[in-house]
Amino acid sequence: MGRVTTLVEGGRIVTATDDYVADILIEGGRIRAIGDLAGTEADEIIDASGHVVFPGGIDPHTHLDTPVAGTVISDDFDTGTRAAAVGGTTTIIDFAIQEKGADPRSSLMRWHEMAEGKAAVDYAFHQIITHLPDSLLPSLDGLVTEGVTSFKLFMAYPNVWMLDDGAIFKAMRRTAENGGFIMLHCENGYAIDALVKESLARGDSDPIFHARTRPSLAEDEATRRGIALAEMAGVPLYIVHMSSAGSARAMAEARERGVRAYAETCPHYLLLTDDRLAEPGFRGAQYVCSPPLRPADHHEPLWNGLAAGDLQAVGTDHAPFFFEQRLVGKDDFTKIPNGLPGIEWRVGLLYHYGVAQGRFSLNRFVEITSTNAAKLFGLHPRKGEIAPGSDADLVVFDPAGSTELSLATQVTNCDYNPYEGMVLQGAISAVLLRGRAIVRDGRYVASRPVGSFVRSAESAALSSSTLVS
Ligand code: DUC
Ligand code: ZN
Ligand code: ZN
């Protein structure tokens, strides 16, 4: 039998740079040809007329099946990736976490085992580094050769995950030599720890004090310090989960100076406010994440940063927990496991609040939900692109449809939906992963999980010839 062929007919194809109507011929999971292909025979025909066809989303920030604070994130690679698929995401980049004192490569093996044979969409990995004596610096080189080229370091959580500025600087310089890429969690850990101790001593232990003890200035300071360290080391930098207006301003200034700094924000920092942490009956615990949700005046600067190219990507920092799992922090907000669900709604929320509400173009939407992450994490042009030779990871989207977000219909394994009741313009009709329709009429239809590991190559941020804005 020859290789399976699929013809996606008559869709409006939108990439980061183009917007035109054409047919797409897929063979063996890759795009073979694009153009007027009417009459071409194929094993399967998908009618995309009246629909927008864009590259499958890439979520550059997820946490599945991960042990956190004595419990485990409630979505594993089965439920979490099915949720991603129905939401139009065809590749996730999940974080392996180094066990303190161990070589990071041993944790990476665990993540491979957790994902293999279970994932509904393709996946790559970042490696979180929690402990980096000089003796472990060579293991970063080893990760790069194994297709994991991005390393997340923390400026928060002293004595837990934080690296000091010296270790961060050394890691940055190492990546200048080995083709890796540093991602930073920017919050001033020491200042936050001091505020947390004072808060608990006063008896201020409810979820809202999680936000009050992590002020936006603690993020802004660390963002500026992280950018300065990367400038000193002469390497590009990616800042994860940016939540504050001041940090967005720091990005604009750094990029204006020509610094290769890149940043991601998350749907919850664009759409939800810190009021949620004050919900009664300890429900506020469901909105504890770090950095915390901010007052509404931080939203528009982040949206503007995305539109202007100061911020380049939107990841979800998907980390769901059931209410019961949060109860451990009933008398002490520092014990509440951190994180919000989001993997399922990122693409739809960005289309509705970004494109439909006129904040940015469809091309920019594709860039920040897919293409930029592919470029920054060494997956482009295999991922994040609609071109001959690229993987046929496609979303067939009905702009005239609508989608209601609700716990009752979600795939995400969690007992609440932070976006409950929102009605979004547009609906996902079909999702193709390497040419196979894994979602039809908005429903996951694959009979078995077909996602596989994708190796990351060097970040495009390392080559001055490739612009990511
Ligand atoms: N940072 C993350 O990226 N995810 C969960 C918690 C945190 O601090
Ligand atoms: Zn973080
Ligand atoms: Zn995270």
Does the residue 163 lie in any domain?
A: yes
Check residue 286 and report its DSSP letter. G
Strands (E), 57-186: 57-62, 67-68, 71-72, 89-97, 122-128, 150-154, 181-185
| 409 domain residue, yes or no | no
Residue 257 Cα to ligand 1 midpoint, Å, equals: 29
Q: How far is CA 174 from CA 29, 134, 234, 290, 347, in A?
A: 36, 10, 11, 27, 34
Residue-wise pLDDT for 302-340, tens only, equals 999 999 999 999 999 999 999 999 999 999 999 999 999
Measured distance CA(66)–CA(448) in Å, rounded: 23
- What is the atom index within ligand 1 of the atom nearest the CA of 95? 3
The pLDDT-based confidence of 467 (bands split at 50, 70, 90) is low
What residue type is 234 in one-letter code? Answer: G
pLDDT value of residue 326: 98
Query: What's the CA-to-centroid distance between 13 and ligand 2, angstroms?
Result: 34
Which residues have a beta carbon within 5 Å of ligand 3, which is an ion? 317
Instruction: State the distance from the centre of ligand 1 to the C-alpha of 318, rounded, in angstroms.
Output: 9
> Residue 12 above 90 pLDDT?
yes
Q: Whose CA is nearest to atom 1 of ligand 1?
A: 290
> Counting ligands in written order, which one lies closest to the CA of residue 185?
2
Structural domain contains residue 416: no
Among 160, 338, 343, say which to mutate for ligand 1: greatest number of ligand atoms within 8 Å of CB.
Answer: 338
Span 125-173, pLDDT tens digits: 999 999 999 999 999 999 999 999 999 999 999 999 999 999 999 999 9
- The enclosing domain of 316 has a CATH number of 3.20.20.140
Preceding omega of 381 cis (within 30 degrees of 0)? yes
pLDDT score of 463: 82
Nearest ligand 1 atom to the CA of 157 is: 8
**249 found inside a domain:** yes
**Angle of helix 216-233 versus helix 165-178 axis, rounded to 10:** 40
pLDDT over threshold 60, residue 1: no
Q: Is residue 4 part of a domain?
A: no
* Structural domain includes residue 278: yes
**Residue at 335 is within a domain:** yes
Q: What is the pLDDT of residues 402-457, one digit of tens each?
A: 999 999 999 999 999 999 999 999 999 999 999 999 999 999 999 999 999 999 99
Residue 466 has pLDDT above 90, yes or no: no
Provide the β-strand partners of residue 47. 9
The residue whose C-alpha atom lies closest to atom 3 belonging to ligand 1 is 317
Quick one: which of 452, 463, 441 has its CA closest to 391? 452
Residue to substitute in 62, 74, 160, 289 for testing ligand 1 pocket (most ligand atoms within 8 angstroms of CB): 289
Range of the domain at 140: 56-381
Higher pLDDT, 467 or 353: 353
Confidence band, pLDDT 50/70/90 cuts, at residue 25:
very high
Atom of ligand 1 minimally distant from the CA of 63: 4
Pocket of ligand 1 (CB under 6 A): 185, 240-241, 290, 317, 319, 338-339
Mean pLDDT of 118-123: 98
For the stretch 158-197, what's the b/e string if a residue is b when 16 or more beta carbons lie within 10 angstroms of its beta carbon? eeebbbeeebbbbbbbbbeebbbbbbbbbbbbebbbebbe
Question: Rounded distance, CA 377 to CA 238, Å?
Answer: 10
- Containing H/E element for 400? strand 394-404
151 in a structural domain = yes
Question: Is there a contact between 9 and 394 (Cβ–Cβ < 8 Å)?
Answer: no
Q: Please give the pLDDT value at position 69.
A: 87
**pLDDT of amino acid 244:** 99
Helices within 261-327 (DSSP H only): 267-271, 299-308, 323-326
Mean pLDDT, the chain, rounded, equals 97
- Write out the H or E segment, with its range, that includes residue 173: helix 165-178
Residue nearest to atom 7 of ligand 1 (CA): 290
Return the percent helix, strand and coil in the chain, to nearest 5.
35, 25, 40
182, 172 Cβ separation under 8 angstroms: yes
Q: What is the pLDDT of residues 168-219, one digit of tens each?
A: 999 999 999 999 999 999 999 999 999 999 999 999 999 999 999 999 999 9
* Distance between Cα 3 and ligand 2 center (Å): 43
The token pair at 345 is 């709604």
What atom of ligand 1 comes closest to residue 161's alpha carbon?
8
Domain count, the chain: 1
